[in-house]
Each structure stands twice: as C-alpha cells, then as structure tokens.
C-alpha cells in the first residue's frame, strides 16, 4: 500500500467505461504503488482487460482520469506513454529477426545504433535467451517466444509494464516456469506491473496486490493473503479457491469469538473480526483445505474446535491431495481437500471432521 505522501505510480480516479449500453467498468478508484506487481483478477467480461487497455491508450475512458507518475494521461498518445506491453499471443513480427523484434520500440526513440545493440543484448540476457538475435520467431518454442515478448517490453525501460493474460497460451508445466520467470524479472527490474488474468493461482503466487473484479466493478482489493483468507463477499470467496458456505444466525459474541447457529441447528464458532451483532444473518466461509478429516472410531475433537460427523459421499484423487465431499446429513455436505497423509478414505466410510474457529470467516448474508 502507498504510505505517507508518496505518489502512486498509477492512479485510476472515477474511471467509467461504456460501450453503447453496456457498462464495462463502473466508477473505478484504484492506486498502484511504484515497483509493485498488481493483478486485475476476475472472470471473462469483468472489465479487467478494458481497464488495462485504457492505461495503454487503446481505449478512452467515458468518464474519469488516469494518472501515471502524477500526470494525467487521458489525452497522451500511445507512443508517448512509455509503457511496455505483453499480450497473450506474443504479438511478435513473424518476418523480423529476434533482434529487430526486441529493438522495435527503441527505433522510435532517440537511441543510437550502438545503444540499441547494447540494450537488446542486455534484455535478451535478462530473459535468459542470449545469442538468439538472428533467429526468427518461428524457430523458437512458445515459452521462448514469450520471453522475447518480455524482452521487447522491458528494453525501452518502461514506467509501467502491462501484461494481458500473457501465460494462458502455455501448457501447465511451462506456465508454472514462466510464472516464476515473470515474478523474478519484475522484482529484479522493480518495474511497476499491471497483470491481467482469470487464473487465481497466478494472482495469488505473483501479486503484491490483487484487485478482484466482477461485472465491471471492484469487489475487493488487497494483499493476496488478505483477499484469500478474508474475502469481502460471496463472489470473492467463490472465485478464489474452494470454499464451503454455511448460513446461520449470530447468537453470541465475546472478545475473541462469534457463535453462529446454522441451518442444521448445530452451533459453530468463528474468530471475532468485528462488524457483527447478535441476530445478524451471516454466511460462514471455510476453505476446503482448512478442514481436517479423521476416522470416526476413537476420534476425540480438540477443545475449541468446530467438529462434524459425516460419511464420505464422493472423492477425487488429485495426486498430492484428495478432494472429498462429506455428507453431514440429508440436507448438508461439505467439501474437504486433504493432503495425502496416512490413508485415503473410501466412499461410504464414516469420518469426523474439524476446523479451527480461526479459519471460519464471516460475511453478511447477501
């Protein structure tokens, strides 16, 4: 977060964008600190790419202002915004050599031929592809082409780096490798980066801050751990990870805990983070990974824990972990994702489940 009087690198002030009768971005206010990597996260059509295109100058805001380094850029031509851009399809020129691709942005600046060669060489070394200057894009793999796109974007030493779903065309293993590559490169350069994705793992693993969007509006912004562990609403909790949603009513509050009576008549306890009163209708959010499952025989719940008795209804083996759906009765089931430990439970087997109040997060019932 920006602190004191430090000027944010990028500011959105009252940004509104309409295409005909369709509202793409709804009154957005948002600051991006210099040197940070901020992810715009949300489903297709939520407005994240439109927001990025407005920074790039490819779309104009219907209302509001965008600032970079304190200067309003609404009317600044694209080529004068000093932005690096990386897209999903790499957007390399197939008929140009790698050198000419990377040097493209420098040729429109006051840079000598000798400096261009030095800068291109350095950029290729940064993305760990030295010596490929004379090759053509078609001679490189998808991952290598993405690295060339990164080199072309950083060679101009941009004020802001814009990345629109840059890894989505890659297979999963290569995507994981490139995710680390982008993260390491961004930290090494210290360049302010706006990263657009619909992939929650990318957002959680790479970001200094996440902005979650839905239908053109901001749902929540914050540090990845905060957004994941303390979602602002049902949508954020559902979009980020596997969650259980348990409805109930607040029946007791003390300094540490809030007691909730749920639909089944059971009583559960959540950590008191404030904001609720007795009688409030609430939704308790528990991440599937936060539950612990045990054999029912001989199990004694730990003091202070929320515990359930149930039966395995369904399961999916996922390598290092197992996904269970556990039936608690005719009306309710919970989703539990358990790390592989001593055994895998069978469908129909009776189990006990427990979760700490610390991992039970309350939001108002929508």
Asked if 182 and 291 sit in the same domain, the reply is no
Asked if 227 and 247 sit in the same domain, the reply is no
Asked if 24 and 99 sit in the same domain, the reply is yes
The residue assigned the tokens 């060489």 is 121
Domain assignment of residue 98, given as a range:
10-237
Q: Are 224 and 210 in contact (CB under 8 A)?
A: yes
Region 83-109: mean pLDDT is 90
pLDDT score for 5: 54
Region 258-274: mean pLDDT is 91
Specify if 3 maps to a domain. Answer: no
Neighbouring C-beta atoms of residue 251, cutoff 10 Å: 13
pLDDT at 352 over 60: yes
pLDDT score for 296: 78
pLDDT score for 4: 45
- Distance separating alpha carbons of residues 23 and 242, to the nearest angstrom: 29
Nearest 10 degrees: CA dihedral of 39, 44, 50, 56? 50
The residue assigned the tokens 């793999």 is 141
Q: Are 34 and 182 in contact (CB under 8 A)?
A: no
pLDDT at 147 over 60: yes
Q: Name the more confident of 161 and 167.
A: 161
Q: Which of 193, 217, 237 is the last residue of a domain?
A: 237
Whichever domain contains 306, its CATH number is 2.40.50.140
Q: Which of 217, 237, 257 is the last residue of a domain?
A: 237
Whichever domain contains 121, its CATH number is 3.40.50.300
Q: Name the more confident of 223 and 333.
A: 223
Q: What is the pTM (predicted TM-score) of this model?
A: 0.90
**If pLDDT is split at 50, 70 and 90, which confidence band does 87 have?**
confident
Asked if 125 and 175 sit in the same domain, the reply is yes
- Distance separating alpha carbons of residues 205 and 201, to the nearest angstrom: 6
Region 323-338: mean pLDDT is 87
Specify if 60 maps to a domain. Answer: yes
pLDDT score for 138: 94
Specify if 228 maps to a domain. Answer: yes
What's the chain's average pLDDT?
91
Specify if 2 maps to a domain. Answer: no
pLDDT score for 272: 93
Q: Which of 237, 272, 295 is the last residue of a domain?
A: 237
Specify if 4 maps to a domain. Answer: no
Q: Is 307 helix (H, G, I), strand (E, B) or coil?
A: strand
Asked if 42 and 83 sit in the same domain, the reply is yes
pLDDT score for 3: 45
pLDDT score for 2: 42
E-strand ranges in the chain read: 10-19, 22-32, 37-41, 63-68, 71-72, 83-87, 160-164, 192-197, 209-214, 217-222, 243-253, 257-262, 267-271, 281-287, 292-295, 306-317, 321-327, 333-339, 350-355, 361-364
pLDDT score for 295: 80
Q: Are 59 and 17 in contact (CB under 8 A)?
A: yes
Run of H or E including 183: helix 172-189
pLDDT tens across 170-219, in order?
Answer: 788 888 888 888 898 999 999 999 999 999 999 999 999 999 999 999 99
- Distance separating alpha carbons of residues 286 and 362, to the nearest angstrom: 9
Give the highest mean pLDDT range of 20-34, 83-97, 283-297, 301-315.
20-34
- Distance separating alpha carbons of residues 31 and 329, to the nearest angstrom: 47
Portion of the chain with pLDDT greater than 70, in percent: 97
Q: Is 147 helix (H, G, I), strand (E, B) or coil?
A: helix
Identify the sign of the CA torsion 251, 293, 271, 42.
Answer: negative
Asked if 254 and 155 sit in the same domain, the reply is no
């Amino acid at each position: 977060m920006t602190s004191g009087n430090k000027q944010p690198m990028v500011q959105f002030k009252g940004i509104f964008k309409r295409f005909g009768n369709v509202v793409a971005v709804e009154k957005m206010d948002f600051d991006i600190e210099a040197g940070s990597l901020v992810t715009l996260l949300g489903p297709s059509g939520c407005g994240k790419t439109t927001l990025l295109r407005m920074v790039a100058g490819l779309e104009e805001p219907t209302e509001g202002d965008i600032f970079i380094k304190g200067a309003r850029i609404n009317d600044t031509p694209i080529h004068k915004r000093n932005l690096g851009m990386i897209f999903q399809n790499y957007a390399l020129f197939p008929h140009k050599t790698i050198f000419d691709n990377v040097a493209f942005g420098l040729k429109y600046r006051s840079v000598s031929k000798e400096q261009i060669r030095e800068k291109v060489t350095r950029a290729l070394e940064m993305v760990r592809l030295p010596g490929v200057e004379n090759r053509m894009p078609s001679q490189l793999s998808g991952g290598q082409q993405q690295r060339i796109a990164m080199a072309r974007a950083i060679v101009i030493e941009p004020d802001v780096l814009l990345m629109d779903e840059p890894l989505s065309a890659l297979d999963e293993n290569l995507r994981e490798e490139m995710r680390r590559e982008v993260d390491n490169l961004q930290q090494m350069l210290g360049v302010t980066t706006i990263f657009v994705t619909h992939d929650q793992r990318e957002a959680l693993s790479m970001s200094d801050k996440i902005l979650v969007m839905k239908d053109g509006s901001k749902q929540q912004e914050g540090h990845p751990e905060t957004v994941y562990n303390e979602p602002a609403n049902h949508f954020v909790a559902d979009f980020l990870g596997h969650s259980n949603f348990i409805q109930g009513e607040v029946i007791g509050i003390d300094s540490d805990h809030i007691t909730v009576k749920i639909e089944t008549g059971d009583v559960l306890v959540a950590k008191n983070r404030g904001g609720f009163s007795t009688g409030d209708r609430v939704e308790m959010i528990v991440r599937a990974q936060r539950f612990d499952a045990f054999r029912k025989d001989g199990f004694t719940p730990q003091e202070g824990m929320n515990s359930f008795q149930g039966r395995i209804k369904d399961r999916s083996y996922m390598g290092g972990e197992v996904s269970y759906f556990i039936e608690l009765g005719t009306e309710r089931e919970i989703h539990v994702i358990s790390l592989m430990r001593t055994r895998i439970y069978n469908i129909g087997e009776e189990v006990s489940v427990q979760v700490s109040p610390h991992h039970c997060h309350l939001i108002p019932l929508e």
